[in-house]
Structure 1
Amino acid sequence: MKSFLKAALLAGAAWSVVPTLAFAQSAADDVAVEEVTVTARRREESLKDVPVAVTAVSGERLEVTGAVDITTLQQSTPNLTVQVARGSNSTLISFIRGVGQQDPLWGFEPGVGLYIDDVYIARPQAAVLDIFDVQRLEVLRGPQGTLYGRNTIGGAIKYVTAKIEGEPELKLKANVGSYDQRDFVASGKAMVNDYLGVGLTWATFNRDGFGKNLTTGAEHYDKDVVAARGTIELTPTDNLFFRLSGDIVTDRSNPRHGHREVPGLNVLGQPIPTATVLDDVYDTRAGAGDKNHVEARGVSFLGEWKASDTLTFKSITAYRAGETEGVIDFDNEPAALLDIPARYNDHQFTQEFQALYTSDRLQGVFGLYYLNATAAGAFDTVVGQANLSIATAGHVDTKSYSAFADVSYDVTDQLSISVGGRYTKDKKTGQVYRQNFTGLKSPLFGNPTAIPGLVRSNFTSSDTYERFTPRVSISYDITPDVTTYASFSQGFKSGGFDMRADAILTPTSINGYDPEKVDSYEAGLKGNFLDGRLSLNSAVFYSKYKDQQVTLQTPVGASIASQVANVGKSHIYGAELEGVARFTQDIFANFSLGYTKAEFDEYRALDLTRTPPVVRDFADERVFQNTPKWNGSVSLTWRHDLGDHGSIAFIPSASYRSSFNMFEVPSILDQDSYWLLDASLVWTSANDRYRVGLHGKNLGDEEYRVGGYNFPQTAGVLFGNSVTGYYGPPRTVTVSLEAKF
């Protein structure tokens, strides 16, 4: 409790200046911070009026700072981790306030929801979305179960595209830079007539690797992505609007095998000559191959009918599918000490109906939601020193039904109360198969001569999970420009079945795992001060995390005991502050600060080091993963008008993350604190048709880990002392060229 009070005081330091700032009268309108509109509550509102901690970044801001993909949000958003998952090029991992998911295996669902134009993206593969054709990005922190569903107990990330309107436009953009970067984006939009609009975007992103595979000669950490998005919008009357959208992304980048962090050892504990630690963290000696292919695609249809001045109906229908085929070389050396060839596929159909009501004092959204999804896959665990392959395959079918409502009532001109809730019912069926084979690879991955051995799992289980998640908040306008709020909300993440379940080592895994829940309390203050020169958003929060789902993987002999278990409970608290300060019409600063303290109260897991194994409480020995205690950023934007020659902008920035752990068990993979320094210099023509940018990222060339795998010799002598790390991008410099016609 003392630490929570310290966190509250952190935000209170910013709140204490409110009486002075709120009544300052000195700035002219032309230096005021622009008002930000968001759709956090499924309706357009000013950011300061939303009783939710929200970070919104405009497409214009992303463009002038040279943002590459949505992982850029991590640098400027308080208490957010969003990164490329270990062993992948385009799989996403996300954590908000300590809640998220690192394990991207099929059937194990994320704790942070990703949405493209209000369509839920159920799987993390191909979800590291490149920045193009985007109006803004929104990050909603804290449980969003009422309006966004069951798997948003940490929060939600929204990728919002713009409507087609205005004059016809063709935009061409090219990026060239370090490591032979070659990006090209072509997008066009036009109103065919007064009722019909058409938009199309095609993009290709290419780059050589940051390192090399010294065994095969292939590029390592390269990029080879092609994406496209098409939209048709129809407005037959003032009260009707329809949008049909489709998108596809294909990633043919080489597999990302990582970097060996310690020397390899054989079963006798002797050094393996080819398994040494390479000087360049982006190099590898992996021999598992260079084949990788990821594709995701989807189509959605939005229908909107404005039935009256107060009532609007919406229907959102969507279908998405994807496939992944690749390999991860855990040992990072030519021999197959620990290799994982894998393939995944998934598809989902979703249907959502909404009714939005707005009157002078009452606003609300009511809805029904349905999801029908299947996630499937297979992989081999190839243990070369034992001439053993463990084949794993299966699928999870999910049907989800929910009804939700969120209503806000303005009791007075200053006081508003919001009440909401969502009832969710998930029906899941999981099928899991796991079997030993003698030989390097099983028949699932092209080795028909492999000799079948012990069947470790072969079961089908079903279960139903249901939950009502409420939310209530109260908001008060201290002045017309300053709002404070307090809220309580619950989050719910569905239970399921571990696709790696080993019914021999962990017999209870066939029963699956239960849902996890979060009770979150939040208080915040938002507003504009100094007559609009300063915009501040701050919050303090306290969460109780129950039945927490954690992936446990413990080497046992020649196998790996894997289980997704509800290990117990924890508490999380912290504070957040972000804002914009405009000093003159041409100079302003963006800043953010986040603090999170997360601690386990109970962590009950099977202790396989004891004979016989027993369940005990590890709470004092476990930590939260991907949750730095401190993170923050600051950037300065200086613009200079060149008259008929346009304008230039210089944008230096710095971001900081304190040390954090990769897993619940501390290891040598844990990352120390680090700074990232970026800068952009951008020229824009007077008619806004041409733009040239020079963007430097990680100018200090900081080496920092974003993920890893930990199978040391002390855990199992057959795994080659395989401890591998994955690193964020090194220093890069990019020149961007853009033209609008």
Structure 2
Amino acid sequence: MSQPIFRRSLLAMTIASVMAMPAYAQQEQANEDEMQGLERIEVTARRKTESLQEVPVSVSSFGAGDLEEIGVEDITELQQRIPNATIQVSRGTNSTLTAYIRGVGQQDPLWGFEPGVGVYIDDVYIARPQGAVLEVFDIERIEVLRGPQGTLYGKNTIGGALKYVTKELTGYNELSVQGAIGSYNQRDLKISGQTALTDNFFVGGAIASLQRDGFGTYLNTGDENYNKDLLTYRLSAKWLINETMDLKFSYDNTEDESNSKGAHRLLTSTVTGQEPLDNVYDSNTAMPVDNLVETEGWSLIYNWDINAEWGFKSVTAGREGYTNTNIDFNSTGEPIFMVPAIYEDEQFTQEFQVSYTNNDNFDFVGGVYFYDGEACGVFGTVLPMYLEALGGVTVDNGGCVQTDSFAVFGQGNYQMTDDLTLTVGGRYTKDEKEADVYRYTYLGVHFINRDPADSFGDPFAVNSEFTTKADWSRFSPHVALNYKVSDDVMVYGSYSNGFKSGGVDMRADQSLNPTINEPYDPEIVDTVEFGVKSELLDGRMRLNSAIFYSDYQDMQVTVQRVVPAGISSQVLNAGESTVKGFEVESVFAATDTLNFTAMLGYIDAEFDSVVYEEPATGETTDVTDAWSFQNTPELTYSLGFNKTFETAVGEIVWSANYAYRDDVQMFEAPSPLDQDGYGLLNTSVVWYSDSGNWNVGLHGKNLTDEEYRVGGYNFGPTFGDDAVVGYYGDPRTVSLAVGYKF
């Protein structure tokens, strides 16, 4: 059977499964006189608490209980349950996030570059992808919004936004302990709790230690590869000042000391003769495997219910991050092409919100937002065999980007009739950036130091050394119209605009490209969306769908090419693109104890015009027909169920799902790293005691042991050897978790 026919068959099967649910429900109704409907899901996608079914936005929501039931460990596992989304660990890292929604994201996690999907922890924007692979513990829910969210969430949310909402402090005495053991010597411990110190002052905390041996080994050193060694904790306090005011403080800290991640070579080394290893999780390295990622943040959130109509909210927050890691691009054990790197970042944000609610027909939320952040880094390209007669070469590249951003925003909902509501909003953003960039070439082999002035003495060549400034301003409008066809069915149409901030290429080499100190421009997305949100069969079936069309302008693309003097980097505003597709999400309560779930996403993303200039020659190249969108599978779908069994010793819940992702291209240009379509099969069985205190869960993931790439590097015959290496998703794992709640 040919691949296109196979894809259409999968698509038809998924649609048929969703459409067959009502017929199955009618059959079950004959056997069930009374059925409970689906639970109401509340979200804060529009900066206020609403039912999922009332929000004219494509949003998926996952509650803490749902995530515990299927054994979700971190946010990357949500990729299997969200249409048209890529949420993965970045190439060569353990905790850096690669996030794409509807074809928009950030492939290159270099400091100073901006994400296309915004990540938020309790309304606090997380500017950098390092450390953004958030562990799931002590949370209330996770929301994923699809499409541009520029009005309420600001720049860098042109693909969407991921909201990580921590557990609220209630003042009740709670203590929860969970331990887990599993494949590859997994050893996890999570403890969380809260209490009231006084009638109006509550405190809480949570800590998680997550340990696991490597999926593979560095064969030449014996060190573990793809292991996990992470400690994270969170502290919080809430003061109920009076009946109308409260103040909440939160602090979180994560330290990841997992080994640096070694890649799998796809080609035989021309230097050492090493062939691709049988186990994709095994590798070799000529570098230390030491790796450290530290992130911490604090926030102070003040709420004031001024009266029945007006409210005020202040969100003050700061975050810092530090990464020290090593990447061996050749992965042979011989020192051929090595990159040690250090990243540092800090940010301070302040948001003031004002909300108004008129119970008759109008509500509004608006405010101002300030961002002050600095991202710094340095990495060395260490080439011991290049110009070997002179002792090799080290290229030291680094600098800092200072960003100051101001925004004013507002969005209102006007109920024109009992059934028709108009939403209008907009956000004005002013961005200012200043970047210092340097690139020095040294003779000899050196591992980098933090301060370039103390690195290796005088450089052999100064490739770049400049300071540049730029500023941009943008107004992002939003308008939506939603109509309640009935109490259970709502249709909506919307137009949204968003932008991703411009910047400076921190790999800039002016000796190869004299104009590379000129900043690249923001990228812009305009999206039109039509959707239906419905609850059918007396509330036992939730069926939400949307179609969308996006005009994607000035898309930022990082292009790196090997040249005799090194690697030429260039960030392009790559012309015009069009993205269109549809999404379907459904939950069906066949009986009181049996639920089915289905998700389907289809996306057609293509470049309309891409022309770039070669830095060395000035010649232009049209790659419109040669390039395709990266990290954007055409088809994604998931089918699952959960079944509850009532027993004499408690409740047992059995759940399973199968998630499929179509072919994925790792970069804009085709490469050997591109991943064919694949599916993952998972299942869980969880027992809950009658008392509600105990739970025991057995979780199996990737049961068919599917081998699939999630990232890689493709430098071809770099400096005398082929550096085409891949990084892979988790193999089959099984874990047993035991929890007790006091």
TM-score category (smaller protein): over 0.9
Q: Distance in 1 between matches of 2:543 and 2:92?
A: 38
* Number of the residue aligned with 2:90: 85
Deviation of residue 146 (structure 1)? 0.3
Conserved? CA contact 2:14–2:637, under 8 Å: no
SS of the residue aligned with 1:72? helix
Amino acid at match of 2:640: S
What percent identity do the matched residue pairs reach? 45
* Number of the residue aligned with 1:118: 123
* Number of the residue aligned with 1:385: 385
SS of the residue aligned with 2:77? helix
* Number of the residue aligned with 1:541: 548
Q: Distance in 2 between matches of 1:358 and 1:395?
A: 44
Q: Distance in 2 between matches of 1:10 and 1:349?
A: 49
Q: Distance in 2 between matches of 1:84 and 1:129?
A: 11
Is 1:466 paired with 2:473?
yes
Matches within 5 A, 1:38-437: 38-165=43-170, 167-266=172-271, 272-273=272-273, 275-360=274-359, 361-386=361-386, 387-437=392-442
* Number of the residue aligned with 1:483: 490
Deviation of residue 21 (structure 1)? 12
Q: CA 1:696–1:288 in structure 2 vs 1: closer, same or farther (change >3 Å)?
A: same
Deviation of residue 499 (structure 1)? 0.5
Q: CA 1:618–1:239 in structure 2 vs 1: closer, same or farther (change >3 Å)?
A: same
Q: CA 1:347–1:238 in structure 2 vs 1: closer, same or farther (change >3 Å)?
A: same
Deviation of residue 191 (structure 1)? 2.2
Unaligned 5+ runs, structure 2: 1-10, 387-391
Structure 2 residue corresponding to 1:492, chosen from 485, 491, 499: 499
* Number of the residue aligned with 1:33: 38
Conserved? CA contact 2:171–2:194, under 8 Å: no
* Number of the residue aligned with 1:528: 535
Structure 1 residue corresponding to 2:598, chosen from 587, 591, 597: 591
Is 1:620 paired with 2:619?
no
Deviations 1:553-609 (A, max 9, x none): 01111400001111111000000001100011110011100001100011122347x
Deviation of residue 612 (structure 1)? 3.0
SS of the residue aligned with 2:459? strand
Amino acid at match of 1:488: Y
Q: CA 1:557–1:408 in structure 2 vs 1: closer, same or farther (change >3 Å)?
A: same
Deviations 1:66-122 (A, max 9, x none): 101000110000001000000100000100000000100000010000000010000
Between 14-23 and 574-583, report the one with greater CA deviation: 14-23
Q: CA 1:78–1:14 in structure 2 vs 1: closer, same or farther (change >3 Å)?
A: same
Deviations 1:437-483 (A, max 9, x none): 11122653799667621111000000101100000000000111111
* Number of the residue aligned with 1:570: 577
Conserved? CA contact 1:153–1:517, under 8 Å: yes
SS of the residue aligned with 1:74? helix
Deviation of residue 397 (structure 1)? 0.1
Conserved? CA contact 1:526–1:537, under 8 Å: yes
SS of the residue aligned with 1:490? strand
Q: CA 1:677–1:13 in structure 2 vs 1: closer, same or farther (change >3 Å)?
A: closer
C-alpha root-mean-square deviation of aligned residues, in Å? Answer: 2.2
* Number of the residue aligned with 1:724: 725
Amino acid at match of 1:491: G
Deviations 1:97-152 (A, max 9, x none): 00000100000010000000010000011110011011111000000000001110
Is 1:654 paired with 2:658?
yes
Q: Distance in 1 between matches of 2:514 and 2:467?
A: 14
Is 1:513 paired with 2:520?
yes
Q: Distance in 1 between matches of 2:712 and 2:416?
A: 52
Deviation of residue 31 (structure 1)? 2.4
Deviations 1:354-395 (A, max 9, x none): 011112211110110000000000000112221111100100
* Number of the residue aligned with 1:686: 690
* Number of the residue aligned with 1:734: 735
Q: Distance in 2 between matches of 1:287 and 1:451?
A: 26
Q: Distance in 2 between matches of 1:482 and 1:664?
A: 40
Q: Distance in 1 between matches of 2:699 and 2:533?
A: 32
Deviation of residue 9 (structure 1)? 12
Deviations 1:217-264 (A, max 9, x none): 110000000000011011122211110000000000000021111111
Structure 2 residue corresponding to 1:707, chosen from 708, 711, 723: 711
SS of the residue aligned with 1:31? coil
Conserved? CA contact 2:442–2:456, under 8 Å: no
Q: CA 1:435–1:533 in structure 2 vs 1: closer, same or farther (change >3 Å)?
A: same
Q: Distance in 2 between matches of 1:67 and 1:448?
A: 44
Q: CA 1:280–1:307 in structure 2 vs 1: closer, same or farther (change >3 Å)?
A: same
Q: Distance in 2 between matches of 1:581 and 1:317?
A: 41
SS of the residue aligned with 2:267? coil
Structure 1 residue corresponding to 2:640, chosen from 635, 638, 648: 635
Q: CA 1:173–1:16 in structure 2 vs 1: closer, same or farther (change >3 Å)?
A: closer
SS of the residue aligned with 2:330? coil
Moved over 6 A (4+): 8-29
Q: Distance in 2 between matches of 1:122 and 1:133?
A: 22
Q: Distance in 1 between matches of 2:503 and 2:16?
A: 43
Q: Distance in 2 between matches of 1:71 and 1:15?
A: 25
SS of the residue aligned with 1:78? coil
The TM-score normalised by the length of structure 2 is 0.94
The TM-score normalised by the length of structure 1 is 0.94
Q: Distance in 1 between matches of 2:519 and 2:219?
A: 42
Deviations 1:322-352 (A, max 9, x none): 1000101111011221111000000000000
Is 1:665 paired with 2:669?
yes
Amino acid at match of 2:673: L
Q: Distance in 2 between matches of 1:17 and 1:357?
A: 43
Q: Distance in 2 between matches of 1:472 and 1:732?
A: 45
* Number of the residue aligned with 1:3: none
Q: Distance in 2 between matches of 1:459 and 1:67?
A: 46
Q: Distance in 1 between matches of 2:122 and 2:37?
A: 29
SS of the residue aligned with 1:444? coil
Q: Distance in 2 between matches of 1:13 and 1:651?
A: 21
Q: CA 1:28–1:171 in structure 2 vs 1: closer, same or farther (change >3 Å)?
A: farther
Conserved? CA contact 1:100–1:154, under 8 Å: yes
Q: Distance in 2 between matches of 1:277 and 1:445?
A: 35
Q: Distance in 2 between matches of 1:472 and 1:9?
A: 33
Amino acid at match of 1:345: E
SS of the residue aligned with 1:598? strand
Deviation of residue 213 (structure 1)? 0.5
Conserved? CA contact 2:395–2:441, under 8 Å: yes
Deviation of residue 615 (structure 1)? 1.8
Conserved? CA contact 2:266–2:726, under 8 Å: yes
